[in-house]
Amino acid sequence: MATDVSNKFDVIVVGAGLAGLAAAHTCAQAGLETIVIERGTKPGTKNVMGGVLYTRPTAKVFPEFWKDAPVERPVIEQGAWLLTSDSAIKLAYRSQRFADDPPNAFTVLRVKLDKYFADQAEKSGALVICETLVEEVLTDGDNVIGVRCGRAEGDLYAPVVIIAEGVNSELTRQLGMQTDLKLDDTASVVKELIRLDPKVIEDRFNLSGEHEGTTIEMYGDATLGMLGTAFVYTNKDSISLGVGFLLSQAVEAAQTPYDMLQRLKQHSMVAPLIEGGETGEYMTHMIPEGGYNRMPQLFGHGVMVVGDAAMLVNGIHREGSNYALLSGQLAAETAIEAHENGDFSGKTLSHYRARLLDETPILRDLRKYRNAAHYVESHPALLSTYPDLVSDAMYEMLNVDDVPKRQKQWEIVRMVLRARSLVGMAWDGIDGARSML
Amino acid sequence: MNTAVCIKQVPDTTEVRIDPETNALVREGVPSIVNPFDAHATEEAVRLKERYGGTVTIISMGPPQATEAIKKCISFGADRGILLSDRAFAGSDTWATSYIIAAGLKRLMSEQPVDLILCGKQAIDGDTAQVGPGLARRLNLPQITYAISIEEVNLDARRVKVGRRLETGVEVVEAPLPALLTCVEEMNEIRYASLPNMIRAARYEPEVWGRDDLEVEDELLGFNGSPTVVSKIFAPPEREPGEIIPGGTEDPTGVAAVIADKLIEALGATASV
């Protein structure tokens, strides 16, 4: 019956997210027999991201993808809002240069996008098997030799296994490459897709058509002062609205993700943007936030770890999908090299880590921000006291009444000093510079 | 023992809404699945192959993307899949559809012997239950509808013994081979596909037969060959919830009396009409 089907491949990829598909596509293009095992019913169904895809890193793996991939809108304006309970300090940068061909970034919806990338990988010759869970990695001594899937006759063998199973990777733990995650190693993100007429979206966000999109990141009251961000991204006929926050802080504050999102939707700065919209989908996921300090071992004998499974996410700069794509591609290039030399030892596969360091900014950026999250977390004033202060100062300055301006300025200074001492502010600044620069 | 299974790709009706204005199915963004009754028919064919040997061939009519449904059936353990697909077939009602699929089956039977043809009892999108019987008539085969079990296939005597689900029980009947069965979902439980079968399905490319591959007459295909006229579509009114009379365990006599009164009242109302 099925005995004619070989269970031996050149490369096994666990997970058909962006990292796994990039790896599979690259391996298959080089002629390696490649199989991808995905637990979802289709690629993309288990994946959640805010929704911004950067063009140039993506095009390294899938050249000129924007010409036929189902992307939403080019991002021509990026905003950052500092929210208090009733006010917002808004900063935005908009440039027509972002609309150049190709644009710098697109808003995307993963269910559509991942299907497209999976189709590309399949066209290159990779096999994508869905609805199948990889239960464990098969080893022989120190060598990874394959995977065991949760189906009858489910063992597969390959000299290289690329683990791209996403955040909270069981397989890296099984192999001892990663210790158990702690609460503050991951953030939780909840997101709603709110359907609106494209014209309404364009009017509300000052866009001239489908070829323009905007993103807004929100801080401060948007996350109740917790370390995290909320976001509003414009798609073609929907808005992605979400909030992400550190799990450890949400537990402390006894906030459920659902409460956080409902609160955000009712915020006076957000409600008008989504008014009249119909909620299409509600999704929630974990984001790795451990950064450089909590990265697992990235390679071993016969195994490499890519994407979220490798904690390759830069929370400060909202980068994760590009890290996933590039790490998948570099792991694939290393797998190709290993096949050329017939050597799958950790020594050869360590070239994957070297490539991540030398050929991309990924590891250098993550190292730069290794303490940034901890800094924000340990300086709670940043996302609660300071937004209120700036808001009150702005209010005082812009509010026209009988008080002379000089007196207003002094009152602001007094107000600031009441809230936070000069020494405290100085240390906030020094620590911040240390962690970010 | 060779079996052919006729399947249809349908929208997953658990996710389909009905447009309140047009009364048409809103199919946009709804995933496609193998018609559940057809999936059970495929499972039964694979079990027959395990019992008696032979092959399982899937045949379907539909647009090019229906190859996905055929590949799904390959993962259940079928050996071969054929999609009948051509612009000329579009718009076919059950009359034209059974004509086209019968032509496909005829071609298949000219290439290899087919002992049994299995269909689902009906498709969940149209619910007509007409294509299976239509095929049997066009192919001049004995048909057994609502098959719930295949008791025995006797390849020497060329007979099949089948259980049929009736409202009152199960009727066991026999027919000579080749025969056509339409299957109900209680026939079997669909097994989780093995990994080798999943891999085979991922690699498999179904054969596509178009108008020119079949012996058919153009005026009997598609819209032209479809005498059915849909005069009206409407959503059924929601059923009113039944009345629950509690207290049966504590006070059975009292509850029985209440029920009896209600029945008498209802019967009286009917009698007076």
| pLDDT at A320 > cutoff 80 | yes
Nearest to A329 by CA among A60, A76, A30: A60
**Would you state the pLDDT for residue B271?**
62
| pLDDT at A317 > cutoff 60 | yes
Q: B interface mutation test: which of A1, A41, A133, A156 has the most B CBs within 10 A?
A: A1
Q: Between B77, B195, B200, which is nearest A154 by CB?
A: B195
Q: Of A70-74, A279-283, B205-209, which range is least confident?
A: A279-283
Q: Is B240 exposed, middle or buried (0-12, 13-18, 19+ CB in 10 A)?
A: exposed
**Would you state the pLDDT for residue A332?**
98
| pLDDT at A1 > cutoff 70 | no
d(CA B251, CA B266): 23
**Would you state the pLDDT for residue A284?**
87
- Between residues A321 and A418, the one the model is more confident about: A321
**Would you state the pLDDT for residue A245?**
86
| Interface check B190 vs A, CB under 8 A | no
Contacts of residue A110, defined as CB under 8 A and 6 or more positions apart, other chains included, come to: A44, A47, A48, A49, A51
**Would you state the pLDDT for residue A57?**
92
Residue B203: list chain A partners with CB under 8 A: 127
| pLDDT at A274 > cutoff 60 | yes
Structure token pair of residue A284:
């929630």
User: ∠A375-A380-A381 over CA atoms, to 5°?
Assistant: 110
| Interface check A417 vs B, CB under 8 A | no
**Would you state the pLDDT for residue A366?**
87
For residue A235, the one-letter residue type is N
**Closest chain A residue to B29, measured at CA:** A112
Question: CA–CA distance from A176 to each of A137, A169, A172, A321, A372 (Å)?
Answer: 11, 11, 6, 25, 27
CATH architecture of B3-220: 3-Layer(aba) Sandwich (3.40)
Q: How many other CB atoms are there within 10 angstroms of residue A80's CB atom? A: 15
Question: B200–A5: do the CB atoms touch at under 8 Å?
Answer: yes
pLDDT tens digits, one per residue of A169-184:
999 999 999 888 887 7
Please give the average per-residue pLDDT across A63-80, as a whole number: 94
| Interface check A156 vs B, CB under 8 A | yes
**Would you state the pLDDT for residue B273?**
46
CATH architecture of A11-70+109-178+296-368: 3-Layer(bba) Sandwich (3.50)
d(CA B115, CA A402): 98
Question: A152–B192: do the CB atoms touch at under 8 Å?
Answer: yes
Q: Of A11-20, A62-71, A252-261, which range is least confident?
A: A252-261
| pLDDT at A250 > cutoff 50 | yes
- Give the sign of the dihedral formed by CA A37, CA A38, CA A43, CA A47: negative
Residue B198: list chain A partners with CB under 8 A: 129, 132, 151
| Interface check B192 vs A, CB under 8 A | yes
**Would you state the pLDDT for residue B267?**
84
* Complex confidence, ipTM: 0.83
Per-domain residue ranges of chain B: 3-220, 239-273
For residue A228, the one-letter residue type is G
| Interface check A70 vs B, CB under 8 A | no
Cis peptide bond upstream of B31, omega within 30:
no
A152-166, A179-193, A369-383, B246-260 — which one is most confidently predicted on average? A152-166
Q: Of A144-153, A157-166, A281-290, A420-429, which range is least confident?
A: A420-429
Q: Of A47-51, A191-195, A210-214, A340-344, which range is least confident?
A: A47-51
For residue A3, name the pLDDT band (cuts at 50, 70, 90): low
Question: A2–B203: do the CB atoms touch at under 8 Å?
Answer: no
| pLDDT at A2 > cutoff 50 | no
Number of residues that make up chain B: 273
Q: Transcribe B140-173 into DSSP letters.
A: T--EEEEEEEEEEEETTTTEEEEEEE-SSSEEEE
| pLDDT at A369 > cutoff 70 | yes
Question: CA–CA distance from A103 to each of A74, A112, B70 (Å)?
Answer: 6, 19, 40
d(CA B36, CA B123): 8
For residue A434, name the pLDDT band (cuts at 50, 70, 90): confident
**Would you state the pLDDT for residue A430?**
81
Q: If you count residue pairs, one on A and one on B, with CB atoms under 8 Å apart, how many are there?
A: 43
Structure token pair of residue B90:
């579009």
| pLDDT at A376 > cutoff 80 | no
| Interface check A128 vs B, CB under 8 A | yes
| Interface check B161 vs A, CB under 8 A | no
Nearest to A36 by CA among A56, A55, A16, A51: A16
- Between residues A304 and A380, the one the model is more confident about: A304
- Give the sign of the dihedral formed by CA A104, CA A106, CA A111, CA A115: negative
Q: Is A289 exposed, middle or buried (0-12, 13-18, 19+ CB in 10 A)?
A: buried
CATH number of A183-288: 3.30.9.90
**Would you state the pLDDT for residue B270?**
64
**Would you state the pLDDT for residue A289?**
84
Q: Is A259 exposed, middle or buried (0-12, 13-18, 19+ CB in 10 A)?
A: middle
CA B262 distance to own-chain centroid: 40
Please give the average per-residue pLDDT across A134-140, as a whole number: 97
Question: A5–B199: do the CB atoms touch at under 8 Å?
Answer: yes
CB–CB of A325/A18 below 8 Å?
yes
Question: B196–A7: do the CB atoms touch at under 8 Å?
Answer: yes
- For residue B11, the cross-strand partners are B32
**Would you state the pLDDT for residue A246?**
83
Nearest to A136 by CA among A86, A81, A90, A173: A173
**For chain B, which ranges sit under pLDDT 70?**
269-273
pLDDT tens digits, one per residue of B19-70:
777 777 777 778 899 999 999 999 999 999 999 999 999 999 999 999 999 9
For residue A395, name the pLDDT band (cuts at 50, 70, 90): confident
Residue with tokens 């999102």: A261
